[in-house]
């Protein structure tokens, strides 16, 4: 392998100076001439028939240019997973917060005044507020075209399950629940919409998937996709919330009605009140093992909450049911589940995408099996994990894996083998009954996922290098704040011979950028990175051919001479910039009708150990140590990679111990950061250890594969296993908040072989 100059280096973020100076312009910072402000009128009830929406008084407010309800729009239903989206509610409202009317005015104050004057005549109906009850015969019907309130279902089976159970010496079965959590991005949802005289639209919206979203928006607006231009501004965080959204459509119809640009931006309370959180799931997991710790069978049943309409929760459900079968060899499995409509805010994808939810229970059962079979938690996992070169139960080909080395290294760093079950007391705090424990969990994920877009997988990139020495990169995968711009700049610099700071990633604009699947399923570095690498190689080859034929003075090789190389190229081509094109077609397969196939070109792995201190008098848990070892192939930027892992640990810690979107009669009761607490710096333990066991992924740029989602997937399970090690109590429900854990501790006998220390 040739020496690398930029790949593998902790290059500073290329956009960090602008962000630190407050110069980065997010959607709330953008203005255009004649811009109006939008406010949405929402349902005050969870379920009801719309008798009438009276907008007459709202239209009289000075500065108001448009007031719309469903009566002003075509009767059109659409959506990414079914016909359950409406721009504005027609006929019925289906959750508290449902979009019933919208106002566009010269100021936010005028828009809010007008919105308050819209009168809603609603006949309240019984509300369905529980996914288990939703499918029972006496439950109210939410969508008439979906009888029984079954929003979506998924079923899969593989292998001889009966034979598997017959071979099992130990069968473990239990139920687990995961909860709603808010994405808690820094930037609330916002959009700018413009309608043009030719009937086309420009939507400036922070989205992961501009090209796929454009298809949904075109159906909603009754235009061709080519009539919608999507511009992605800098994104102030998302974590899965900002895929396809209704807000761009509300702004678009207001812009069309008013013939003025319209901006819609939520404040934090509105954003959190109607936010589409992580879907809560109920799991029943069953695992069979031989007495040597080898798995022989697995079965799972999942019930999830879709809320009032489907966003991306169906894909999350499918992942939660079957992805774990490509982390471990279970040899035979059956999984089934459904999402239920409820009269609650819709749910959608969040970092970890069902994989994290499933592993919360599966990894706890594996730890319980290790205890029953007198195996250490590292060994039982080593005996069952999938390995490099193997094909899993569902046809996933593992082209690279350093998971065995990750397990060994995290065990060495944390001492989990030796310290597990020790029941160490802790005396740092002045409370009684403190216990310490350690817990292990492993995880995997994908690097892209073939079924996302029917037309193609893969990515494309364009490089434009001008005679002024500036290099601009165009891809269709938006940077959503994860450091992608820097990683791509390093790949370009490595291949083209410039410096990373010479490379600017152009914001995604459907009028300029290549079409793309988008930034989701942890695909950007691996798939788009390959296309970027190919584009840099293409540009370098063109430049080298020109320089070989050029009769000018020799140019110093390397970054110092790069600007002069580009100047000569531009002069020799009458001002034409150097253009490089790259296309990457990954060796993936669309799963067949039996859901068998290889949907991703690369699979990352991780092994985590958490150390907790539990106050048995209060149920309070403090994470006091954490070790994370990852296999993400070649690490292109160690600084951004470490940041991704630390951020994921923080998010997972919050999910495990404190975060919970609470509802009362379908309304969110904690829509702010005072009542909805997310982790701060003080909640993370000092000296979190993050290491990477580097390998060479044959399908990734410079051997790299994904990282960001794999990093959150084991966190809740590692903490749960550590709590059990400390107390002997198994917490099967998220969050593992003090009141919940305290209740379990009151029911449990004192842990064997653990000595409580009073300090």
**Residue-wise pLDDT tens digits, 649-700:** 999 999 999 999 999 999 999 999 999 999 999 999 999 999 999 999 999 9
Pairing mode, if any, of strands 620-631 and 605-615? antiparallel
Name residue, tokens 């996992």: 381
Specify whether the CB–CB gap between 123 and 76 falls below 8 A.
no
pLDDT band at 202; cut points 50, 70, 90: very high
pLDDT band at 135; cut points 50, 70, 90: very high
Which tokens hold the place of 29? 């910072």
Calculate what percentage of the chain has a pLDDT beyond 70: 97
pLDDT tens for each residue of 312-332:
999 999 999 999 999 999 999
Pairing mode, if any, of strands 228-231 and 201-204? parallel
pLDDT of residue 544: 93
pLDDT of residue 428: 37
Q: How far apart, in whole angstroms, are the C-alpha atoms of residue 437 and residue 94?
A: 45
Angle between helices 529-549 and 484-496 (to 10 degrees): 30
Residue 48 has pLDDT above 70, yes or no: yes
β-pair partners for 668: 663
Q: How far apart, in whole angstroms, are the C-alpha atoms of residue 247 and residue 262?
A: 11
pLDDT of residue 423: 62
Q: How far apart, in whole angstroms, are the C-alpha atoms of residue 86 and residue 77?
A: 5
| Better pLDDT: 552 or 405 | 405
List phi, psi (to 5°) of 171. -125, 125
Specify whether the CB–CB gap between 391 and 398 falls below 8 A.
yes
- The arithmetic mean of pLDDT across residues 369-382, rounded, is 97
- The arithmetic mean of pLDDT across residues 372-388, rounded, is 97
Q: How far apart, in whole angstroms, are the C-alpha atoms of residue 6 and residue 3?
A: 10
**CA triple 521-354-338, angle to 5 deg:** 120
* C-alpha distance from residue 316 to each of 229, 320, 690, 735 (Å): 28, 6, 28, 19
Q: Which of 136-150, 443-457, 556-570 is predicted with the least confidence, judged by mean pLDDT?
A: 556-570
Residue 610 has pLDDT above 60, yes or no: yes
Pairing mode, if any, of strands 262-265 and 36-42? parallel
pLDDT of residue 542: 97
Q: How many CB atoms lie within 10 A of CB 670?
A: 18
Specify whether the CB–CB gap between 313 and 321 falls below 8 A.
no
- The arithmetic mean of pLDDT across residues 247-269, rounded, is 98
pLDDT of residue 554: 74
Considering the segment(s) 458-584 as one domain, its CATH architecture is: 2-Layer Sandwich (3.30)
DSSP 8-state class, residue 85: B
What pTM did the predictor assign?
0.96
pLDDT band at 591; cut points 50, 70, 90: very high
Is 709 designated active site? Answer: yes
pLDDT of residue 757: 29
pLDDT of residue 758: 27
- Helix (H) or strand (E) holding 153, with range, is strand 150-158
Residue 133 has pLDDT above 80, yes or no: yes
Fold: same for 281-448+596-758 and 458-584: yes
* C-alpha distance from residue 331 to each of 162, 220, 302, 377 (Å): 11, 44, 20, 20
pLDDT of residue 555: 79
Pairing mode, if any, of strands 757-758 and 620-631? unpaired
Q: What is the 3-state secondary structure (H, E, C) of 606-637?
A: EEEEEEEEEECCCCEEEEEEEEEEEECECCCC
pLDDT tens for each residue of 482-515:
999 999 999 999 999 999 999 999 999 999 999 9
pLDDT of residue 425: 56
Mean per-residue pLDDT over the chain, rounded: 95
pLDDT of residue 754: 39
Which tokens hold the place of 38? 């939008």
List phi, psi (to 5°) of 122. -125, 140
Specify whether the CB–CB gap between 103 and 673 falls below 8 A.
no
pLDDT band at 558; cut points 50, 70, 90: confident
Q: How many CA atoms lie within 13 A of 43 on its CB side?
A: 32
Q: How many CA atoms lie within 13 A of 525 on its CB side?
A: 31
Considering the segment(s) 281-448+596-758 as one domain, its CATH architecture is: 2-Layer Sandwich (3.30)
| Better pLDDT: 133 or 555 | 133
Residue 401 has pLDDT above 50, yes or no: yes
pLDDT of residue 150: 97
Q: How far apart, in whole angstroms, are the C-alpha atoms of residue 192 and residue 206?
A: 10
Strand order in the sheet with 150-158: 150-158, 333-341, 295-307, 281-289, 170-178
Considering the segment(s) 36-125+189-265 as one domain, its CATH architecture is: Alpha-Beta Complex (3.90)
pLDDT of residue 275: 87
Angle between helices 210-221 and 247-258 (to 10 degrees): 50
Calculate what percentage of the chain has a pLDDT beyond 90: 93
- Helix (H) or strand (E) holding 459, with range, is strand 459-465
Pairing mode, if any, of strands 190-195 and 201-204? antiparallel
Q: How far apart, in whole angstroms, are the C-alpha atoms of residue 302 and residue 493?
A: 46
Which tokens hold the place of 377? 């938690």
On the 0-12 / 13-18 / 19+ scale of CB atoms within 10 A, 537 is middle
Name residue, tokens 């080519």: 226
Pairing mode, if any, of strands 605-615 and 432-444? antiparallel
Residue 759 has pLDDT above 90, yes or no: no
Residue 435 has pLDDT above 80, yes or no: yes
β-pair partners for 139: none
Domain boundaries, the chain: 36-125+189-265, 281-448+596-758, 458-584
Name residue, tokens 């409509």: 341
pLDDT of residue 406: 98
DSSP 8-state class, residue 526: I
Exposure string over 651-664, b if 16+ CB within 10 A, otherwise e? bbbbbbbbbbbebe
Which candidate in 144, 371, 709, 755 is catalytic? 709
pLDDT of residue 750: 54
Specify whether the CB–CB gap between 94 and 85 falls below 8 A.
no
């Amino acid at each position: 392998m040739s020496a690398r100059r930029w790949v593998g280096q902790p290059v500073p973020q290329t956009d960090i100076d602008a962000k630190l100076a407050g110069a980065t312009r997010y959607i709330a910072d953008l203005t255009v001439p004649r811009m109006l402000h939008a406010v949405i009128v929402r349902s005050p009830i969870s379920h009801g028939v719309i008798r009438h929406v009276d907008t007459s008084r709202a239209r009289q407010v000075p500065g108001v240019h448009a007031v719309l309800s469903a009566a002003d729009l075509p009767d059109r239903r659409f959506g990414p997973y079914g016909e359950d989206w409406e721009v504005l509610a027609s006929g019925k409202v289906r959750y508290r917060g449902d979009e019933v009317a919208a106002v566009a005015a010269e100021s936010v104050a005028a828009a809010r005044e007008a919105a308050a004057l819209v009168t809603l005549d609603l006949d309240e109906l019984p509300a369905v507020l529980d996914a288990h009850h939703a499918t029972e015969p006496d439950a109210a019907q939410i969508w008439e075209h979906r009888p029984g309130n079954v929003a979506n279902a998924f079923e899969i089976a593989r292998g001889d399950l009966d034979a598997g159970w017959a071979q099992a010496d130990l069968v473990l079965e239990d139920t687990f629940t995961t909860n709603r959590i808010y994405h808690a991005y820094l930037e609330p949802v916002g959009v700018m919409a413009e309608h043009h005289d030719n009937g086309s639209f420009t939507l400036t919206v922070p989205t992961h998937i501009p090209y796929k979203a454009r298809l949904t928006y075109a159906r909603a607006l009754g235009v061709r996709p080519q009539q919608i231009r999507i511009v992605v501004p800098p994104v102030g965080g998302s974590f899965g919330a900002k895929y396809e959204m209704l807000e761009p459509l509300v702004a678009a119809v207001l812009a069309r009605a008013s013939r003025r640009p319209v901006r819609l931006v939520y404040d934090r309370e509105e954003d959190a009140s109607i936010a589409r959180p992580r879907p809560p799931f109920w799991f029943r997991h069953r695992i069979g093992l031989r007495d040597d710790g080898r798995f022989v069978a697995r079965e799972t049943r999942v019930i999830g909450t879709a809320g009032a309409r489907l966003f991306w929760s169906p894909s999350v459900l499918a992942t939660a049911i079957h992805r774990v079968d490509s982390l471990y060899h279970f040899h035979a499995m059956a999984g089934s589940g459904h999402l239920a409509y409820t009269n609650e805010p819709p749910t959608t994808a969040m970092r970890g995408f069902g994989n994290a939810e499933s592993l919360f229970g599966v990894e706890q059962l594996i730890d319980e099996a290790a205890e029953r079979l007198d195996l250490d938690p590292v060994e039982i996992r080593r005996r069952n994990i999938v390995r490099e070169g193997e094909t899993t139960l569902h046809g996933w080909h593992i082209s690279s894996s350093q998971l065995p080395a990750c397990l060994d290294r995290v065990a060495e760093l944390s001492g989990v083998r030796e310290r597990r079950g020790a029941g160490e007391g802790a005396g740092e705090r002045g409370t009684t009954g403190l216990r310490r424990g350690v817990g292990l969990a492993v995880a995997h994920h994908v690097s892209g996922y073939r079924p996302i877009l029917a037309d193609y997988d893969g990515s494309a990139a364009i490089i434009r290098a001008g005679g002024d020495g500036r290099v601009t990169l165009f891809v269709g995968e938006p940077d959503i704040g994860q450091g992608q711009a820097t990683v791509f700049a390093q790949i370009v610099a490595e291949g083209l011979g410039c410096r990373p700071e010479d490379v600017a990633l152009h914001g995604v604009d459907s009028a300029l950028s290549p079409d793309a699947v988008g930034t989701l399923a942890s695909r950007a570095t691996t798939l788009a990175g390959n296309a970027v690498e190919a584009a840099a190689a293409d540009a370098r080859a063109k430049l080298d051919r020109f320089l070989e034929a050029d009769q000018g003075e020799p140019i110093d090789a390397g970054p110092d001479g790069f600007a002069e190389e580009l100047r000569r190229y531009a002069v020799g081509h009458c001002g034409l910039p150097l253009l490089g094109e790259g296309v990457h077609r990954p060796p993936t397969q669309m799963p067949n009708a039996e859901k068998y196939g290889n949907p991703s070109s690369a699979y990352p792995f991780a092994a985590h150990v958490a150390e907790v201190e539990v106050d048995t008098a209060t149920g309070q848990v403090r994470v006091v140590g954490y070790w994370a070892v990852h296999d993400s192939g070649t690490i292109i930027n160690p600084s951004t990679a470490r940041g991704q892992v630390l951020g994921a640990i923080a998010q997972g810690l919050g999910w495990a111990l404190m975060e919970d979107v609470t509802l009362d009669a379908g309304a969110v009761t904690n829509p702010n950061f005072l009542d909805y607490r997310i982790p701060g710096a003080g909640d993370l333990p000092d000296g979190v250890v993050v290491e990477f066991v580097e390998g060479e992924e044959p399908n990734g740029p410079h051997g790299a594969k994904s990282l960001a989602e794999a990093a959150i997937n084991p966190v809740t399970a590692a903490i749960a296993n550590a709590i059990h090690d400390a107390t002997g109590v198994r917490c099967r429900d998220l969050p593992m908040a003090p009141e919940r854990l305290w209740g379990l501790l009151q029911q449990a006998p004192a842990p064997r072989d653990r000595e409580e220390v009073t300090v």
